[in-house]
Structure 1
Amino acid sequence: MNPELTHWTGPLGLPRFDLIRDEDFPPAFDACLQLAGQAVEAIAANPAPPSFDNTVAALESAEEPLNRLCAIFYTLTGVDSNPAREDQQRQIAPRLAAHGSKVSMDPRLFDRVEAVMQDADDLAPEDRRLTELTLRGLRRAGAGLTGASRERMAEIRERLAVLSNDFAQNVLTDERDFTMAVSDDQLAGLPEWLIRAMRAAARERGLTGQIVTLNRSLIVPFLEYAADRGLREAAWRAWTARGSGQGAGGAATDNRQVAAEILSLRHERARLLGYEDFASYKLEPEMARTAANVEALLTEVWAAAKTRADADAARLAEMLHEDGVNGALEPWDWRFYAGRRRKAEHDLDEAEVKPYLTLEAMLGAVFDTAQRLFGIEMREFVAPLWSPDARAWEVTRNDQPLAVFVGDYFARPSKRSGAWCSSLQQQHKIGQGQRPIVTNVCNFTPPEAEGAPAYLSWDDAHTLFHEFGHALHHILSDVSWPSMSGTSVARDFVELPSQLFEHWLEQPQVLDRHARHAETGAPLPAGLRDRILAAGNADQGFATTEYLESALVDLAFHRGAPPADPMARQAEVLAGLGAPAAIPMRHATPHFAHVFSGDGYSSGYYSYMWSEVMDADAFEAFVEKGDAFDPQTARRLEEWILSKGDSRPADELWLQFRGRKPGVQALLKGRGLVTATD
């Protein structure tokens, strides 16, 4: 086995990605699965009476080599997939699921942890919490099942692992394989920066001219600026066809039946564990607790969002008809006319803004904000990573090392879409302790040429702040055990730090300090800054509606009996909502990776809004002090939110920070969906 896969020797403890080959992974998984099985068996078969140290604490370290191997492998499959890695994913997914089932459904482990829990009153608070979480995890995995039910649960988990992997790979294939050529006489309306990005995308694929790909940072501005309505429709249909069998991969990448089988198996899994449906099972440990509570929040916001969206749709339809186009406003029209409206009402054009929002400038804003709030320093260093695009920083405070941070910001055909934060290793205090190694991955449009600046949109800049908010949750983690550190918290709590950190992008003092013109170095003019901020809620009816459609469809999929035809159920839900025809779901079922590429956000896509209720209220804590960088409030934010992981229940941590429960009004006002007097 390549030792670099489990014993990392790169700078500051990073893996040496330059020493890792695809063919290293199969024998490494063989060895690490065997080691993990032996370590867990030793705990389960230990003849000594169960104790916290020999059972619960021992489980925290039992699978460390396998965890490190998985961290490297799944990082690479996300940022730099290839046929060999995709095949290895298909091979390893059921094996990892089988191992997980064997461990989490072992009745001997369950009995030992249960015995420790019976005497947990004498444990330190974090040790007691870890014991509670471990026991809950074993119960929810099916450790209490016997006979045929137990065997069926293991089968379900293995099959779900295969299906989730298939779903993700099908979407990636459609995204990777689609390109749409745009001729020189079809460039009307497109700003020069976008044309340059389209030409760079063509060169990257060995093509000439300019193309549109399904990279969000390319296709969204194309839909906003392209004057050719037919081209907008073609681009939009390709974007929304991912995973449907009508995408670039054809029938081979059709996820509709994959989604149906996933929903059926999830429901069966929940019923085996005694729950009414999968939503009841999934939401039990979350802050929301029940599907009824989720629905109450989403429907309260839906009413305000739809009112705003309907009014916006009427105005955009007028603009469409003024252009001499007959018929209804279509989904491929919305961004185009919304952009025109924003230009007219706020005198704001993204082409005017982008030169001030380079990646380097916004990274400076992100790092400076973190330094002013939490006292951390970022020092970039050279390390052998998976791509020349990826960069590494050491994170310190008071000259003491805190973490290592890796950022990979540009779109590549081999990278899955979207943006995410993950960790190569978690913070903990076992033995000598361990610093976190955190990654942020985005899909921004690369610079036109080597050495040229990379321009971000306002939405891209928000994404940059969002993902670093997640990173701070890892970086500032200060708990004893890896399984409760960093972002290992309730799903509807995990987005609080990320969405909260976005607020600082919109602070005039941050923009005034960091938004500098790429060519002249001139600061962002105050008038332009004010227009950017004034236009922040210009299209919130659209943004909120498309999000809520996806969240409500996700919830409906997992409540009650699973739909035999998910697409029909999707249509039924949207019709029941009276969803505007020109605003489709943000993530239609065949490419709803949050929900079907694993079950992390299944019955949980609502969590972005649940967390937004808190993040709007949390930033109010700074506003009330009259200082967005109030040091006392920042210390409390770190103490009770960012450093605690899952060492205490999320609602307790929130109350310690804020002193009261949050309300939805701050969210509605923040999105501009109600006025201050409503």
Structure 2
Amino acid sequence: MKKSVILLLSVTALVTSCKDGAKQVNNPLMQKFETPFQAPPFDKIKPADYKPAFEEGMKQHKAEIEAIVNNPEEPTFENTIVALDKAGELLNQTSSIFFNLYEAMKNDEMQQLAMEISPAVTAHGDEINMNPKLFARIKALYDKRETLGLDALALRTLELYYNDFVRGGANLNDADKAKMMQINGELAKLSLQYGDNLLKETNAFTLVVDNEKDLAGLPETSIAAAAAEAKDRGMEGKWVFTVQKPSMIPFLTYAQNRDLREKLYKGYYMRGNNDNANDNKAVLAKMVNLRTEKAKLLGFDTYAAYVVDVNMAKTPKAIYDFMGRVWEPALKVAKQELAEMQAIATKEGMTSKLESWDWWYYAEKLRKQKYDLDESEMAPYLKLENVRDGMFAVANKLYGITMHKRTDIPLYHPQVETYEVKDVDGTSLGILYLDYYTRASKSAGAWMTEFRHYTKVNGQEEMPLVSVVYNFSPAVGDAPVLLSWDDTETMFHEFGHALHGFFTRGDYQRIAGTIPHDMVELPSQVMENWASEPEVLKMYAKHYQTGETMPDALIQKIQESGHFNQGFATVEYVAAALLDMDWYSNTEVKDFDVNAFEKASMDKYGLIKEILPRYRSTYFSHIFDGGYSAGYYVYLWAEVLDADAFQAFKSSGDIYNKELAAKFRKYVLSEGGYADPMQQYIKFRGQEPSEDPLLHKRGLK
């Protein structure tokens, strides 16, 4: 997942100005960073520094916009678009640091600051988006764009800015502009509330086991982690399991106690839906209605139509049709998987039907039966450091880049690692931060973001500071961190986003790294393909005790089981994507019964009761506080591209084909924002993508 701090035209800020000059002088956020690579001095930044920095950043940004607006000269590309593109440096810098740490190091003070800052920053952005004089200058250039003699990149930048302003409300009348600002302000607060509620719900639920018999079936690593968690919570001698996936998934997969599996799974899927102070039903219903109102103001029937209008898909119908072509064969395969698991359960003496909390447990039994493979066989070969080095090696073989450990970069948490990324010629591409482990202050999931984007001002390049955040279980005692196969793919996935950040280029910030939302997962998902290739596994999958390379027999089992459980995986994902589209396909404001709406949505598509959507509404962070509203479909849409792209490497006979890698780097990762996204993809691939590699990859065809 790629999380972005949307800057300048979409985020927003505080209204008061900082009157205390001493505060500004001593505020590390408002000084030049005297650190290697001008990295944020996290060791010096205090929570009290943020608000003055936001205020000063907005003050400076407003002055820069006023200078553009009040320029007596006729609008030109340089004095309007380039000036706009360069504006807001301090605000951008402060936003990138604060909002990224808010996700990774959240506490009460940061939450309170966010509730003050986010609506104010949103209002600031709206004032710029809806500034009639600024828009008049942009529109004047846009209307005569073909006669300005602009090169292709400048022309695209102008067109994108014009579209941004229109979508931001620049064409609205004054009353509707005021309404839009009110909506955006409310959404900013509700999004924060949704995320805060979810974090509290996630941290609140625990399954405490005090009888060792109830641990039957669990791997020793899972038991040890639960014992360590209990000790940390002052319950030494017991075992604590949480709804964080590194704790929950092994329990659902191996624990023989069915009642406890049910209890833990219900703790997970009822988050935000417990009619308590952290309930998210009313919050998300308000958000859906506000987004519907916003879309209507901007001339769209639905919020989904508004979102998708600038994506590759173009229309919600195209998305529904695409997902329908995948849903039907996936559901058929999932029902076959269910029948096979039910047969195992019945043979073992179960007299009832399987439920959703049984799926992982019996799927693992089915995998063992079909392929003589279980997850625990792989884990000893998936030591975190080895997987990390493996993904670094793949990037080196593809692109020639190298990673160099740095110990002189300030860290926001002592467990974070930093690496300097160097290109094949030895020049620096920036700094990579890796934040591996779960903690109560960190949002769930995994994501890539940036403390600084690639920029080019007056010919001077400023390299990015890229952060990748995971949620793996930390080491227990002297034992290493052993990853699951899903964790391994997640490491490669987020690193793919990071490579996109490092390779991004562009003379203007607006086009540097800009690709439509339904293409943004291509760079990450394509990297997952290398993780399971036999020659790649032999490079990084080493037994943590013996150093032995993963044996050929185990690699063959992994390859043979590649299609295993893909009915379930596809159905739970597409169900969530359809639920997302249904929420944002409402044409009018309604009083929602959230649970009833969700049930009706899933019943409409025939979702079987043994599978829940990957994310239910009350903890669907992607679409309510993660920037993927009416966009969760993008993972599958991008998978068409990534399966097709990797097929090019496979067909060439060399999965490290440097010629193909260079083309992918240039046309997709570096210059993806330079032209229509499909044109950029075709420049790499030589043809439009086919859905066939995706369907074959998932075993659905």
Matched, 1:506 2:535: no
User: Which of the numbers 19, 29, 42 marks the counterpart of 1:5?
Assistant: 29
User: Which of the numbers 427, 434, 437 marks the counterpart of 1:410?
Assistant: 437
What does residue range 163-174 of structure 1 map to in structure 2 within 5 Å? 163-174=190-201
Q: Could you list the per-position Cα deviations for residues 277-313 of structure 1 after superposition, in whole angstroms to 9, with x for gaps in the alignment? A: 1111111100000011001110000011000001111
How far, CA to CA, are the matches of 2:352 and 2:235 in structure 1?
36
Q: Could you list the per-position Cα deviations for residues 586-627 of structure 1 after superposition, in whole angstroms to 9, with x for gaps in the alignment? A: 0000011111115x2111111101000111101111112111
Matched, 1:224 2:253: yes
How far, CA to CA, are the matches of 1:144 and 1:68 in structure 2?
29
How far, CA to CA, are the matches of 1:330 and 1:588 in structure 2?
16
Matched, 1:671 2:698: yes
Q: Could you list the per-position Cα deviations for residues 160-208 of structure 1 after superposition, in whole angstroms to 9, with x for gaps in the alignment? A: 1111111111101111222221222210010101111222333344442
Amino acid at match of 1:651: M
> Aligned-residue CA RMSD in angstroms?
1.4
Residue number in structure 2 paired with 1:318: 343
Q: Could you list the per-position Cα deviations for residues 26-61 of structure 1 after superposition, in whole angstroms to 9, with x for gaps in the alignment? A: 222222222222222222222221111111111122
How far, CA to CA, are the matches of 2:464 and 2:285 in structure 1?
38
Residue number in structure 1 paired with 2:352: 327
8 Å CA contact 1:595, 1:602 repeated in 2? yes
8 Å CA contact 2:320, 2:578 repeated in 1? yes
How far, CA to CA, are the matches of 1:252 and 1:392 in structure 2?
38
How far, CA to CA, are the matches of 1:211 and 1:23 in structure 2?
36
TM-score between the two structures when normalised by the length of structure 1 = 0.96
Residue number in structure 1 paired with 2:420: 394
How far, CA to CA, are the matches of 1:319 and 1:585 in structure 2?
24
Residue number in structure 1 paired with 2:498: 471
How far, CA to CA, are the matches of 1:182 and 1:42 in structure 2?
64
User: Which of the numbers 95, 111, 114 marks the counterpart of 1:86?
Assistant: 111
How far, CA to CA, are the matches of 2:571 and 2:175 in structure 1?
44
Q: Matched residue of 1:19: which SS?
A: coil
Q: Matched residue of 1:602: which SS?
A: coil
How far, CA to CA, are the matches of 1:536 and 1:440 in structure 2?
27
Gap regions ≥5 residues in structure 2: 1-23
What does residue range 201-280 of structure 1 map to in structure 2 within 5 Å? 201-208=229-236, 209-244=238-273, 246=274, 251-280=276-305
Matched, 1:23 2:48: yes
Residue number in structure 1 paired with 2:612: 584
8 Å CA contact 2:28, 2:49 repeated in 1? no
How far, CA to CA, are the matches of 2:192 and 2:287 in structure 1?
11
Residue number in structure 2 paired with 1:462: 489
Amino acid at match of 2:322: L
Residue number in structure 2 paired with 1:107: 132
Gap regions ≥5 residues in structure 1: none
Q: Matched residue of 1:604: which SS?
A: coil
8 Å CA contact 1:331, 1:584 repeated in 2? yes
- Which stretch of the first structure deviates more once superposed, 19-28 or 225-234? 19-28
8 Å CA contact 1:425, 1:438 repeated in 2? yes
Q: Could you list the per-position Cα deviations for residues 638-669 of structure 1 after superposition, in whole angstroms to 9, with x for gaps in the alignment? A: 11111114121211111111122212211110
8 Å CA contact 1:167, 1:597 repeated in 2? yes
8 Å CA contact 1:278, 1:558 repeated in 2? yes
8 Å CA contact 1:474, 1:485 repeated in 2? no
Matched, 1:445 2:473: yes
- Which stretch of the first structure deviates more once superposed, 120-129 or 95-104? 120-129
How far, CA to CA, are the matches of 1:436 and 1:205 in structure 2?
39
How far, CA to CA, are the matches of 1:349 and 1:470 in structure 2?
29
How far, CA to CA, are the matches of 2:29 and 2:261 in structure 1?
45
How far, CA to CA, are the matches of 1:384 and 1:199 in structure 2?
33
How far, CA to CA, are the matches of 1:612 and 1:200 in structure 2?
38
Residue number in structure 1 paired with 2:562: 536
Amino acid at match of 2:263: A
How far, CA to CA, are the matches of 2:234 and 2:482 in structure 1?
22
How far, CA to CA, are the matches of 2:426 and 2:60 in structure 1?
38
- Which stretch of the first structure deviates more once superposed, 172-181 or 456-465? 172-181
Residue number in structure 2 paired with 1:192: 220
Q: Matched residue of 1:438: which SS?
A: strand
- Which stretch of the first structure deviates more once superposed, 316-325 or 134-143? 316-325
Amino acid at match of 2:585: R
How far, CA to CA, are the matches of 2:341 and 2:436 in structure 1?
34
Q: Could you list the per-position Cα deviations for residues 83-127 of structure 1 after superposition, in whole angstroms to 9, with x for gaps in the alignment? A: 100111111121011111101111111111112223433112211
Q: Could you list the per-position Cα deviations for residues 381-414 of structure 1 after superposition, in whole angstroms to 9, with x for gaps in the alignment? A: 0122111111110011111111111110111111
TM-score between the two structures when normalised by the length of structure 2 = 0.93
Q: Matched residue of 2:367: which SS?
A: helix
- Which stretch of the first structure deviates more once superposed, 410-419 or 109-118? 109-118
Evaluate the alpha carbon distance shift between residue 389 and residue 206 of structure 1 in structure 2; reply closer, same or farther with a 3 A threshold. Answer: farther
CA shift for structure 1 position 453: 1.6
8 Å CA contact 1:421, 1:467 repeated in 2? yes
Residue number in structure 2 paired with 1:385: 411
Q: Matched residue of 1:555: which SS?
A: helix
Residue number in structure 2 paired with 1:371: 396
Q: Could you list the per-position Cα deviations for residues 310-337 of structure 1 after superposition, in whole angstroms to 9, with x for gaps in the alignment? A: 1111121222222322222101100000
8 Å CA contact 1:516, 1:523 repeated in 2? yes
Q: Could you list the per-position Cα deviations for residues 455-479 of structure 1 after superposition, in whole angstroms to 9, with x for gaps in the alignment? A: 1000000000000011111111121
8 Å CA contact 2:384, 2:483 repeated in 1? yes
How far, CA to CA, are the matches of 1:528 and 1:203 in structure 2?
36
Matched residues, percent identical?
Answer: 36
How far, CA to CA, are the matches of 1:402 and 1:447 in structure 2?
31
Q: Could you list the per-position Cα deviations for residues 459-504 of structure 1 after superposition, in whole angstroms to 9, with x for gaps in the alignment? A: 0000000000111111111211223223x32000000111001101
Matched, 1:597 2:610: no
8 Å CA contact 2:253, 2:361 repeated in 1? yes
- Which stretch of the first structure deviates more once superposed, 201-210 or 24-33? 201-210
CA shift for structure 1 position 427: 0.9
Q: Matched residue of 1:490: which SS?
A: coil
User: Which of the numbers 573, 584, 592 marks the counterpart of 2:601?
Assistant: 573
How far, CA to CA, are the matches of 2:446 and 2:464 in structure 1?
19
Amino acid at match of 2:353: A
Q: Matched residue of 2:467: which SS?
A: strand
Residue number in structure 2 paired with 1:129: 156
Amino acid at match of 1:610: W
Q: Could you list the per-position Cα deviations for residues 344-392 of structure 1 after superposition, in whole angstroms to 9, with x for gaps in the alignment? A: 2111122221111011100111000000000101001012211111111
Q: Matched residue of 2:562: which SS?
A: helix
Residue number in structure 1 paired with 2:646: 619
User: Which of the numbers 681, 692, 695 marks the counterpart of 1:654?
Assistant: 681
How far, CA to CA, are the matches of 2:422 and 2:129 in structure 1?
37
How far, CA to CA, are the matches of 2:223 and 2:36 in structure 1?
39
CA shift for structure 1 position 11: 2.3
8 Å CA contact 2:580, 2:629 repeated in 1? yes
Matched, 1:282 2:311: no
Q: Matched residue of 1:253: which SS?
A: coil
- Which stretch of the first structure deviates more once superposed, 297-306 or 345-354? 345-354
How far, CA to CA, are the matches of 1:256 and 1:8 in structure 2?
43
Residue number in structure 2 paired with 1:351: 376
8 Å CA contact 2:672, 2:680 repeated in 1? no
8 Å CA contact 1:193, 1:351 repeated in 2? no
How far, CA to CA, are the matches of 1:125 and 1:428 in structure 2?
19
Q: Matched residue of 2:689: which SS?
A: coil
Q: Matched residue of 2:350: which SS?
A: coil
